[in-house]
Amino acid sequence: MIEDRIKKSFFIKAIAYLLIPLLLIGMMVSTLIMTYAAEFPESRSEKSFYETKIFSDKYLNSIYSIYDSRKSITNSSRYENIYEYQNENDGNTIKLDIAVEAENRDKIYYSSRYTYLGIDFLILDKENNIWYTSVERTSKTDTVEKIKSILKSNGLYWNITNGQIETNIENISTENILRENLYEAMKSNSIELYTSFDTNNQLTFESDFVLTQTAYDITKKYYDTAVIFLPISVIIFFICSFYLIISTGHKNGKEGIYLDSFDKLPFELLVLFGGITLSIESLVIAVSIPIMRYNSIAMGITLFFIGLYIMGITLIFLVLGIIKRIKAGQLIRNTLIWRLLRLTKRICVKIVDTISENFSLSTKITIGLGGFIFVSFILVALRNIGGILLLLVFWLFVYIFLLKRATGIIKLQTALKNIYNGNTDISLNEKELRGVLREMAIYINDIAGGFSNAIQESLKSERLKTELITNVSHDIKTPLTSIINYVALLKKEDIKDETAKEYINILDSKSQRLKKLIDDLVEASKASSGNIKLEKQLININELIKQVLGEFEDKFKEKNLEIIAEYLKEDKKILADSRYIYRVVENIFSNVSKYALENSRVYVDIKQVENKVNILVKNISRERLNISEEELMQRFVRGDSSRNTEGSGLGLSIARSLTELQGGKFSIYLDGDLFKVIIEFEIKE
């Protein structure tokens, strides 16, 4: 009950829903921080950014970029073609067109193209008498000396002057770190390079150092937090995700999976809505980039993460919507394609049903085949890829239609087979079938129901007869016991009349026979109804047969019956109740002693067949056996039709019932006057 409330809690769902995007962003940032720290171990030290090798490597790469691309400054179209500068030789102010080579004139190219590097620079190309600088052109920077003065006033610098490196930046003070072309120019004194980095300036996003410095500062400050936050956030993320997957679709006051009006929209519209929403959110994230570059880094980052968070919310909404449809079994069914196919199917089924109701089977087959050929011919005649695809879809539809009909026929065949085998507890779903097959299903259900009712009535009647036999037998036994007792008392009296003695002996014989018949009736009733409590144990089959044969030895000698017995070479055991398995064998030998032909042989064979033991008893019947095996197994039926023997006709019926109750199999076979009984039990170790 508590789990159900938690599953349907709107408050818990809302918390998990809003928390997952935050956890994802936190996991992403923490992973980036830990990855950066692993690549740059200095970020975990106490050094400032400007003291690290990270900064010096970035600074050196910027120097290479400045030197290698200096000539492109000259040809850039972003700069003015005509500007003024003061010649250091004569002090005159001269206007110069940068597109014109002026003899014996020094040219200064002012460029803002490489300010994204974050470094101010001045390159003096002595060989070509050209100067390059990134310093903004003003009245204070219109000469080389003024530019040098500005660069020297910055906090960090790196210069090449007269072939020597001057710098206050760690890790880049030696000549062997320079690229070959710059190193050769420095050795020949053809290049003077002045660079500086003002640590007091607020870097913009255009600076090549801003992301590196930001990453370094964030890693240095939040590394320890990221190490703790990442595993915790992963665990909470999976818990929240698992909860939402399990709980989605469940709502208070609703049973099963609840789909709201939005969930009932076609799946294609859901995908379209999600695509439009994600595109708008991606646009918001994209807008944050120029805001970081030209306006405010803090504002841009804030907008970036807000857009990322809203995108996460949207993705969760879409994923949970898909999961909810899957749990409700509506993902495929709630698509426009599926609805179109269902409509097409209904139209085709309606046409088929109309044909089925109004035409004969041969006409239906002719119309169906003709329609198939006609539609296939039309689609092939289109001679394009669309026609081929439609043809394949049409063939697939026909295949599914025929497969369903074949499946329906198989169901009917299986149902009929079950009824034939005696299993009438079947019920075909008539709604799954159509036309003639539906009619046949209705008929089969009615037949199965009729058979089932008949069997139930038969079982009820059999049960009533069994109860009647048991009750009547019990009622008869009370006066019969009195008769037997009084007969016994009369036999003790000194009666002189021989006729009276003969009558008393007849009464004794008939009352004992009646007592035996009643006992057999009660035992047969219990055996057939299964109302017997078994106490199974392992029994040696050789010893059992020898014991019973020993007890019947005198009776067999009276009829001059020769017993030929063959036992198992090794003793085998079966699992049975000793009392009732003894009664089974006793009934068989009793039947032999009563009905076997005198002066004949009786064969008793015990054989092992795989993991089972068979007891075979064969003899020649005294009377002609003109009935079937099944008739002989019925109650009160005997081999002698004159019914002048002392048997009750219940021995074989009791033997079979007791055998089957103990897990065995009892069979009889008749071949002329040959009577054979086979008892089969599984061998137990």
Residue with tokens 């970081």: 292
Are the C-beta atoms of residues 540 and 574 closer than 8 Å to each other? Answer: no
Residue 605 pLDDT class (50, 70, 90 cuts): very high
The H or E element spanning position 667 is strand 665-671
Nearest to 185 by CA among 107, 144, 128, 145: 128
Average pLDDT for 210-236: 87
pLDDT at 396: 85
- Say whether pLDDT at 109 is over 60: no
- Reading the block at residue 480, the tokens are 């019969």
Q: 358 vs 222, which has greater pLDDT?
A: 222
Q: Where are the alpha helices (DSSP H) in 115-177?
A: 144-152
Read off the DSSP letter of residue 450: H
Residue type, 246: I
Taking only the tens place, the pLDDT of each residue in 532-559 is 677 888 989 889 888 888 888 888 888 8
- Reading the block at residue 89, the tokens are 């030789």
DSSP-assigned states of every residue in 222-280: HHHHHHHHHHHHHHHHHHHHHHHHHHTT--TT--S----TTTTS-HHHHHHHHHHHHHH
Residue 642 pLDDT class (50, 70, 90 cuts): very low
- Rounded distance, CA 549 to CA 153, Å? 129
Distances (CA, A) of 417 to 107, 420, 426, 452: 107, 5, 11, 15
Residue 616 pLDDT class (50, 70, 90 cuts): very high
Question: For the ranges 19-28, 173-182, 374-383, 674-683, which has the lowest average pLDDT?
Answer: 173-182
Question: For the ranges 35-44, 306-315, 384-393, which has the lowest average pLDDT?
Answer: 384-393
- Rounded distance, CA 584 to CA 651, Å? 8
3-state SS class at 659: helix
Taking only the tens place, the pLDDT of each residue in 54-106 is 888 888 888 887 777 665 555 443 333 333 444 444 444 433 333 333 333 34
- Which domains can be identified in the chain, with CATH numbers? 52-205 (no CATH), 337-420 (no CATH), 532-684 (3.30.565.10)
Taking only the tens place, the pLDDT of each residue in 165-220 is 888 887 776 656 677 677 777 777 778 888 888 777 655 555 667 778 888 888 88
Q: 524 vs 38, which has greater pLDDT?
A: 38
pLDDT at 603: 93
Q: Could you tell me what percentage of the chain is helix, strand and coil, using 3-state DSSP and rounding each to the nearest 5? A: 60, 15, 25
pLDDT at 301: 76
Residues whose CB falls within 8 Å of the CB of residue 412, separated by 6 or more in sequence, listed in order: 428, 437, 440, 441, 444
Whether the model clears a pTM of 0.75, i.e. scores above it, the answer is no
The highest-confidence range among 124-133, 509-518, 591-600, by mean pLDDT, is: 591-600
